[in-house]
Structure 1
Amino acid sequence: MRVLFTTYPEKTHFLAMAPLAWALRTAGHEVVFAVQPVFTDVITQAGLTAVPVGGERHLWQLMSRHMHWLPAGVGGLPVPYDAAEWHPGDVTWSYLKDGYELQVSRWHKMSNVPIVADLVEFARSWKPDLVVWEPTTYAGAIAAEACGAAHARLLFSVDSLAVTRAHHLRLMERQPPGDRADPLADWLGGYAHKYGFEFSEELVTGQFTISLLPRSLRLEADLRYVPMRYVPYSGAAVVPSWLREPPGRPRVALTMGLSTADHGAGYVVDLPDVLEALADMDVELVATVSEAARDRLASIPDNARLVPFVPLDALAATCSAVIHHAGFGTLATTALHAVPHLVVPWDGDGPALGRRIAAQGAGLALHPMQATGTTIRDRLLRLLNEPRFRHGAALLREEMLAMPTPNELAGDLEELAAAHRHAPLAGSAIGGG
């Protein structure tokens, strides 16, 4: 079969999708990634085929000029998606309605409008059997419905999008007919009208969802989820010679993730404060730190090794603990090596994932406002000295290893695609935008 993947230009999201693309390709299927031109090099560096669609304008350009563009909610997730973790009785109609208006006009349109037309045109020409899309790249669902392909979200975190959507639909039914605002459906429905089909909730949440999280860490809606084991991949990398030598004392990794570095955001922790607090501990601290940040340091402790990048899959295998920001790739790679986590989440889904790691017993989580050198030292000592965290990490690893691999899932996706495909619909030249 032919499988079309698509995502907005976010490298960490692509890295989570790449192993499934490889699995499908090695199973004999045709696979391409349709992405904006600025992102094609990231695809081809992974040995996959890229199809440029749309223009150069993208979300990160806007956010670099307006860092307030996606206001964080109480839980770290953008408004209104932070409501996914609230008690249903605390979620209000006005909060959801206003939040959707904000995020559709800012986040979702900025991520999707530049690619929709080209993506639909390519999909109708190439005729994929299955479209796999990043959970906010709704252009993938639009293109799939326009060409008759089956389609699925590839989800690598808690499903705050679908749970919030369920809250919205539940509360919308209770409103007077004149107040049943639905900005997301109105926007996506315009594209449905333009390309000749009816709006349905599948444009929002897919026909099914491929989920990379183990069950103990999930937050789900009432949808069909297809589990798939996470496979660590961080792009082109070289394992340094020092990493091949067993550490002489407990090794601790400190990493704040690819996205933070790539997009120029600051570190959630005060790096000099943390280095000083851990300087007299009998550990080897390996911290991934940009060269610019390293140059600003007055001194580097003797027990610290600062590197701009090292493949986490190789590093985590040698560690006794990992301090990280709860980015999904970092969290899942650490979990696969049964290493305890000290989570200092930045924003987005980080706080939700950090809370779940702590509740599962595989580590501890700190609110960024609590993340001083002293508190990080205290929590790290607990991870190293209390066996229960190693036990919790081992259980989490077993749970992940029980999930189907991408290669094992490939056959199931053929059946799911066959079940959901439909005859392509005639296009229309009106509506949309």
Structure 2
Amino acid sequence: MRVLFAVNPGTSTFLPLVPLAWALRTAGHEVRVASQPKFADMITQAGLTAVPVGRDLDIIKLFKIYGVTEEQLEKARVGLSPPYDVADDPAKATWRHMLDGYLETVEGYKAENAPMIAGLVDFARHWQPDLVIWEPFTYSGPIAAKACGAAHARLLWSLDVFGIARDHFLRLKAEQPPEERADPLADWLGAYGRKYGFDFTEDMATGHFTIHQLPASLSDQAGSQHYLRMRYVPHGGPASVPKWLWTAPERPRVALTLGFAATELFSGYTVGVQDVLDSLADLDVELVATVSESEQHKLDRVPDNARLVSYAPLDALAPTCSAVINHAGDGTVLTTALHAVPQLAIGYHFNEPIMARKLAAQGGALRLHPSEATGPNIRESVLRLLREPAFRDGAIRLRDEIRALPTPNELVPHLEELAAKHRTAPR
């Protein structure tokens, strides 16, 4: 069959789909990955075939056009914004809160997706994919799928805050008088339906089905969704293993890794790197701190027991570690968990606070809010992770839970069946 992946430009949203794309290719299927033109190099570096569509959108420039200040951007960075914050606090699920949240969020989706929609529809109608797989921000995916009659699925890289919010919204919408049942997401997607010859259906909001890469202990599910669980397979993009990782460390190794988005999209880390270095300086550990070059100059000193690098492939680094300090990003958490390493999760952005809480509840980790991530608290947490066997036991349970999920290769036959089930006649 033919499978078309659709993704808005973004390292954190693209990398998690690469292993499934390769599983489909190695099973003999044709695979294409569509995104904006400037993102084609990222796609081809992963060995996949890129389809540049539409025009490039500079998201930072877009923020400036809409008058979004750096202060507002940083405020929006904290946790989940409406309507998705109901995944963290169901008490917020009121009609007014949800409707206002969708009104604002859909405006952002319009701006992000507009550059790709026409080009993606044109290519889909030309190439006629059997299945379109899209990440949750890329609503050009279901539009193109409906326009050509393909089955389509979301591929999640996070908790399904999108499906959870949608379930709450539809429940509240049904309780409103008919004349007040506004639905900004359906109205927007339905407008493209009228343009391309189809009616809005609810699958356009959340897919015919959803591929979920989190184990059950770390995720909540939306009750209306058809989920396919898939084992997370680490892929961090082009990388090489440095020589210092060829041999086992002589003392316990602790890694510090705080993700891409903090410096790519935002103004920096929410954890004081200098505080982390100083707090662990006198411990008998080797600290490996992955700190972007743009942030390294802000450091006053690097202790003798610390190794400062701009990047190290986490799937090579994590197996050598006794503990990992991280930002509770989904890919970082899962890569670390696959090697049964206890974690100190300091979540801040999007679903990271929820992930940190669930990770700690599972038993293989501790969590701190960034406001609590002082030197003494970090030191105490790291010592507990290193000294208390319960955290290693919890990390082993989580590793085994992840390993029990179907690999991307094992998922392919299910995708073939569902594509055949949901595919309609070409438009």
Hey, what does 1:349 align to over in structure 2?
Answer: 351
Cα distance per residue 1:199-246 (max 9 Å; x no partner)? 111000000000100011111112110011111110111101011111
List aligned pairs for 1:10-49, cutoff 5 A: 10-49=10-49
Cα distance per residue 1:336-379 (max 9 Å; x no partner)? 00001100113111111111101111101111111111111111
Residue 72 of structure 1, CA deviation: 3.8
Hey, what does 1:405 align to over in structure 2?
Answer: 407
List aligned pairs for 1:176-187, cutoff 5 A: 176-187=177-188
Residue 318 of structure 1, CA deviation: 0.2
CA distance in 2, matches of 1:367, 1:264: 18
CA distance in 2, matches of 1:14, 1:292: 23
Residue 60 of structure 1, CA deviation: 4.5
Hey, what does 2:397 align to over in structure 1?
Answer: 395
- In structure 2, the CA distance between the partners of 1:357 and 1:421, relative to structure 1 (3 Å rule), is same
CA distance in 1, matches of 2:400, 2:89: 29
Worse-matched range after superposition: 15-24 or 373-382: 373-382
Question: Does structure 1 retain, via aligned residues, the 8 Å contact 2:85–2:92?
Answer: no
- In structure 2, the CA distance between the partners of 1:289 and 1:71, relative to structure 1 (3 Å rule), is closer
Question: Does structure 1 retain, via aligned residues, the 8 Å contact 2:268–2:295?
Answer: no
- In structure 2, the CA distance between the partners of 1:271 and 1:69, relative to structure 1 (3 Å rule), is closer
**Partner SS, residue 32 of structure 1:** strand
CA distance in 2, matches of 1:17, 1:83: 26
Residue 282 of structure 1, CA deviation: 1.1
CA distance in 2, matches of 1:423, 1:71: 46
- Give the TM-score normalised by the residue count of structure 2: 0.96
- Give the TM-score normalised by the residue count of structure 1: 0.95
Question: Does structure 2 retain, via aligned residues, the 8 Å contact 1:146–1:195?
Answer: yes
**Partner SS, residue 113 of structure 1:** helix
Hey, what does 1:105 align to over in structure 2?
Answer: 107
Worse-matched range after superposition: 168-177 or 389-398: 168-177
**Partner SS, residue 268 of structure 1:** coil
Hey, what does 2:86 align to over in structure 1?
Answer: 83
- In structure 2, the CA distance between the partners of 1:382 and 1:212, relative to structure 1 (3 Å rule), is same
Question: Does structure 1 retain, via aligned residues, the 8 Å contact 2:136–2:154?
Answer: yes
Hey, what does 2:125 align to over in structure 1?
Answer: 124
CA distance in 1, matches of 2:267, 2:300: 21
Residue 86 of structure 1, CA deviation: 2.1
**Partner SS, residue 229 of structure 1:** coil
Worse-matched range after superposition: 58-67 or 32-41: 58-67
CA distance in 2, matches of 1:66, 1:300: 33
List aligned pairs for 1:182-193, cutoff 5 A: 182-193=183-194
CA distance in 2, matches of 1:363, 1:258: 22
List aligned pairs for 1:277-316, cutoff 5 A: 277-316=279-318
**Partner SS, residue 57 of structure 1:** coil
List aligned pairs for 1:264-275, cutoff 5 A: 264-275=266-277
**Partner SS, residue 5 of structure 2:** strand
Residue 69 of structure 1, CA deviation: 5.1
List aligned pairs for 1:221-240, cutoff 5 A: 221-222=222-223, 223-240=225-242
Cα distance per residue 1:164-209 (max 9 Å; x no partner)? 1111111111122232221111111111111111111100000000
Hey, what does 1:258 align to over in structure 2?
Answer: 260
Hey, what does 1:174 align to over in structure 2?
Answer: 175
Amino acid at match of 1:167: H
Identity, in percent, stands at 57
List aligned pairs for 1:149-160, cutoff 5 A: 149-160=150-161
Cα distance per residue 1:258-303 (max 9 Å; x no partner)? 2223335311111112211111111100000122322222211001
**Partner SS, residue 320 of structure 2:** coil
CA distance in 2, matches of 1:343, 1:253: 12
CA distance in 2, matches of 1:66, 1:226: 39
Residue 58 of structure 1, CA deviation: 4.3
Question: Does structure 2 retain, via aligned residues, the 8 Å contact 1:21–1:31?
Answer: yes
Question: Does structure 1 retain, via aligned residues, the 8 Å contact 2:74–2:266?
Answer: no
Residue 13 of structure 1, CA deviation: 1.3
**Partner SS, residue 297 of structure 1:** coil
Question: Does structure 2 retain, via aligned residues, the 8 Å contact 1:228–1:405?
Answer: yes
CA distance in 1, matches of 2:93, 2:120: 35
Correspondence 1:241 to 2:243: yes
Question: Does structure 2 retain, via aligned residues, the 8 Å contact 1:76–1:351?
Answer: yes
1:325 to 324, 327, 335: 327
Aligned residues: CA RMSD: 1.5
Residue 85 of structure 1, CA deviation: 2.6
CA distance in 2, matches of 1:70, 1:201: 32
Residue 38 of structure 1, CA deviation: 1.4
Hey, what does 1:135 align to over in structure 2?
Answer: 136
Worse-matched range after superposition: 288-297 or 348-357: 288-297
Question: Does structure 1 retain, via aligned residues, the 8 Å contact 2:128–2:426?
Answer: no
Question: Does structure 2 retain, via aligned residues, the 8 Å contact 1:58–1:110?
Answer: no
Residue 70 of structure 1, CA deviation: 8.5
Residue 90 of structure 1, CA deviation: 4.2
Question: Does structure 1 retain, via aligned residues, the 8 Å contact 2:337–2:398?
Answer: yes
- In structure 2, the CA distance between the partners of 1:390 and 1:61, relative to structure 1 (3 Å rule), is farther
Instruction: Figure out how many residues of one structure are paired with residues of the other and give that number.
Output: 422
CA distance in 2, matches of 1:233, 1:43: 12
Hey, what does 1:369 align to over in structure 2?
Answer: 371
Hey, what does 1:428 align to over in structure 2?
Answer: none
- Structure 1 gaps, min length 5: 426-433
- In structure 2, the CA distance between the partners of 1:41 and 1:162, relative to structure 1 (3 Å rule), is same
Residue 63 of structure 1, CA deviation: 4.2
Question: Does structure 2 retain, via aligned residues, the 8 Å contact 1:116–1:142?
Answer: yes
Amino acid at match of 2:35: V
Residue 156 of structure 1, CA deviation: 1.8
Question: Does structure 2 retain, via aligned residues, the 8 Å contact 1:362–1:396?
Answer: yes
1:381 to 380, 383, 390: 383
